[in-house]
Structure 1
Amino acid sequence: MSKRIITFGEILLRLSPPNHSKLYKSRTFEAHYGGAEANVGASLALFGCDVKFVTSVPDNELGDSALSELRSYGVEPIAVKQGKRLGVYYFEQGASERPGKVLYDRDASSFANLKKGMIDWEVIFKDADWFHWSGITASLTEDLAILSKEALEAASKLGLTISADLNYRPTLWNYGKKASEIMPDLVQYCDVLLGGSDDSEKCLNIKIEESESMDSVFRKWKKQFPKLKTIVSTMRYDANASSNTIGAILWNDEKLLKSKEYKISHIVDRIGAGDAFMAGLIYGLITWPESYQKTLEYAVAASCLKHSIPGDINLSSVNDVTALMNGASGGRVIR
């Protein structure tokens, strides 16, 4: 594994009431660090990849703690230290028919105050092979959307493979611009894209019909963004907060591939499952560049395992994921 990967985003402090309790009246919280792009980077590092994570944190104990957490997974953080706030989010774990709930407290965080010109992308991307970002960063402030484009222009100029997760979060787009006004200008640089049919108009400003097939949707995306080589979408069926059936599809070279499906009957924590999928996808595309089906199966298996792990980050190893791919399940104790 010789590819060097750069991820860019905000690392957050996550606070959750224990034992599926509601936020209302909660007196204690379990603390984890996470955030979409940090989750992807940590998972890739645990898979054995060389990963650097670009972010901004306050110059205090909390910022140092967050960076220390990243290092514990093998990620090398590159952090602009400024401001006084680390972004926070509260996660109320759902159960059965009661959905989970996320409340964000990330306004005016250190990361939210980043602007164009504050990061030397050409230095960071020197000798790198891959750049991963997500739509969450562009949703936070217009300055971050502009900074994202600066990063993408530099990565494209230097020939890096660029991947993105659209990660549409309607509650975060609050600065007067819609995702559909910002994201197409950024997605044009991407080689690999994770998103669903619901994102087509909301994020990419591409209209689709209600009954349109995913093959047709992805062809429209490819036509609009010709640099795209691989498009993927995760799927959930028969879903409530405690039980899901998951799978995914991958479109590459005008072929639509479908993955095996997993029925997850007792979800421990589904936060970060999409990031686990994205990390698995990147790992697979690097490791098995000629086997898109194997890559897809690896990504879905990684996502499946994340549902069994508390916190944001998938702690599964390559051996864990490949064992599930090859038919091992939780029905036996490994001795």
Structure 2
Amino acid sequence: MSRVVTFGELLLRLSPPSHLRLTQARSFDLYYGCAEANVAASLSKFGVSVKFITAVPDNELGESSLSMLRSFGVEPISFIQGKRLGIYYFEQGASERPGKVVYDREDSSFSTLKKGMINWEDAFKDADWFHWSGITPSLTLELAEICEEALTVASRMGLTISADLNFRPTLWKYGKKANEIMPNLVQYCDFLLGGADESENVLGITVEENATREEIYTKWMEKFPKLKNIVSTRRIKANASSNGLNAVFWDGKKLYRSQKYYVSHIIDRIGAGDAFMAGIIYGMITWPEDHQMALEFAVAATCLKHSISGDINLATVNEIKALMEGSGGGRVSR
């Protein structure tokens, strides 16, 4: 199956157990992950060959994080440099109390990467697909320039390029706004995950208040003519403990809508968007002409991720297909 390459930071996540608040915590549950790494691990679990490019420190945390990726079958291309692995703390929400993320990732090993360090031609050798997200260019101007370096090569080599806009306002601290940086990078993309609320903040595209999804995505494709497909997820009647979920897929001509799922007891919503992204990439590789099937697979994948602790979706292809076919409801599989 196709080889996918992803590029991003690998983080250590620390979460208080039992839905405690950070101010109450006396111990933490430890996980590794973050956007592009989560996509890589999930794709590998689906049977897709994946490389993940990152940088980690030369210590036990760096080695442990890479071992985690290898345990999923991901091939890490890692630069061992810098002094620390980035950290984020996640406080699980409950009911109407939202979850909260506190970042501690400044001066991480990943932030010390420089242009010219990565041989992108070698990285993309035998690859068909390159995935990145808006988190990486939000961290430093140098990383934004490295993203462009990668995208230029991937485009020249004919890879399908996807991105999750992943707008995180608290990360854009180096004097540039997302809509000053991201449009220059999105122009290389064939496939985009993003919502209407990111249109102006990330892409610099103003839309009318009552514009339909078709009208919004048509504007995106007019500004970025390389774009072939756009997907977006939606949470319905959502709080921190329960969500309704569905998604749409726009191919420039038709808007596909997925079935709806209702998750009544969320175990962990971190990584749900990454589970969707991995699902849609897998779907497009597996059923390239069946957009509805690809969309349904991705939504079922993100639904199951809400039941799994940690950043990475541990659901298998067969489990996701079973949910698509109606085998939910909490029955014991025997």
On the 8 A contact 2:218/2:252 being kept in 1, the answer is no
- The TM-score with structure 2 as length reference comes to 0.99
Partner residue, 1:243? 242
SS at 1:24's partner residue? helix
SS at 1:303's partner residue? helix
Task: Report the Cα offset of residue 132 of structure 1.
Answer: 0.2
Residues 1:281 and 2:293 aligned together: no
On the 8 A contact 1:4/1:128 being kept in 2, the answer is yes
**C-alpha separation in 2, matches of 1:104 and 1:136:** 12
Task: Report the Cα offset of residue 221 of structure 1.
Answer: 0.3
Partner residue, 1:169? 168
**C-alpha separation in 2, matches of 1:159 and 1:313:** 29
**C-alpha separation in 2, matches of 1:232 and 1:152:** 20
Once the two structures are superposed, what CA deviation does each residue of 1:251-280 show, in whole Å capped at 9, x if it has no partner? Answer: 013211100000100000000000000000
On the 8 A contact 1:219/1:254 being kept in 2, the answer is no
Partner residue, 1:141? 140
On the 8 A contact 1:17/1:30 being kept in 2, the answer is yes
Give the residue type in structure 1 aligned to 2:204.
N
Residues 1:213 and 2:217 aligned together: no
Once the two structures are superposed, what CA deviation does each residue of 1:261-301 show, in whole Å capped at 9, x if it has no partner? Answer: 00100000000000000000000000000100000000000
Q: Give unpaired runs (5+ residues) of structure 1.
A: none
SS at 2:19's partner residue? coil
**C-alpha separation in 1, matches of 2:114 and 2:260:** 42
SS at 2:32's partner residue? strand
Residues 1:122 and 2:121 aligned together: yes
**C-alpha separation in 1, matches of 2:24 and 2:324:** 42
The root-mean-square deviation of aligned C-alpha atoms, in Å, is 0.5
Partner residue, 2:47? 48
SS at 2:54's partner residue? strand
Q: 1:191-206 residue pairs with structure 2 within 5 A?
A: 191-206=190-205
Residues 1:308 and 2:307 aligned together: yes
Task: Report the Cα offset of residue 202 of structure 1.
Answer: 0.2
Task: Report the Cα offset of residue 49 of structure 1.
Answer: 0.4
Residues 1:33 and 2:32 aligned together: yes
SS at 2:82's partner residue? coil
Give the residue type in structure 2 aligned to 1:283.
Y
SS at 1:137's partner residue? helix
Give the residue type in structure 2 aligned to 1:292.
H
Partner residue, 1:15? 14
Aligned sequence identity (%)? 67
Give the residue type in structure 2 aligned to 1:105.
D
Once the two structures are superposed, what CA deviation does each residue of 1:217-238 show, in whole Å capped at 9, x if it has no partner? Answer: 0000000001001100000010
On the 8 A contact 2:88/2:101 being kept in 1, the answer is yes
Task: Report the Cα offset of residue 195 of structure 1.
Answer: 0.2
**C-alpha separation in 1, matches of 2:139 and 2:263:** 32
Task: Report the Cα offset of residue 126 of structure 1.
Answer: 1.0
Partner residue, 2:184? 185
SS at 2:24's partner residue? coil
**C-alpha separation in 2, matches of 1:3 and 1:205:** 33
SS at 2:131's partner residue? strand
Task: Report the Cα offset of residue 27 of structure 1.
Answer: 0.6
SS at 1:322's partner residue? helix
**C-alpha separation in 2, matches of 1:104 and 1:169:** 11
On the 8 A contact 1:15/1:90 being kept in 2, the answer is yes
Task: Report the Cα offset of residue 25 of structure 1.
Answer: 3.0
Give the residue type in structure 1 aligned to 2:139.
L
**C-alpha separation in 2, matches of 1:115 and 1:304:** 37
- Aligned length in residues: 334
Runs of 4+ in 1 over 2 A off after TM superposition: none
SS at 1:19's partner residue? helix
Give the residue type in structure 2 aligned to 1:289.
P
Give the residue type in structure 2 aligned to 1:255.
K
Give the residue type in structure 2 aligned to 1:129.
D
**C-alpha separation in 2, matches of 1:59 and 1:156:** 32
Q: Give unpaired runs (5+ residues) of structure 2.
A: none
Partner residue, 1:84? 83
**C-alpha separation in 2, matches of 1:211 and 1:306:** 32
Task: Report the Cα offset of residue 59 of structure 1.
Answer: 1.1
**C-alpha separation in 1, matches of 2:143 and 2:252:** 32
Q: 1:259-274 residue pairs with structure 2 within 5 A?
A: 259-274=258-273
Task: Report the Cα offset of residue 166 of structure 1.
Answer: 0.2
Task: Report the Cα offset of residue 173 of structure 1.
Answer: 0.2
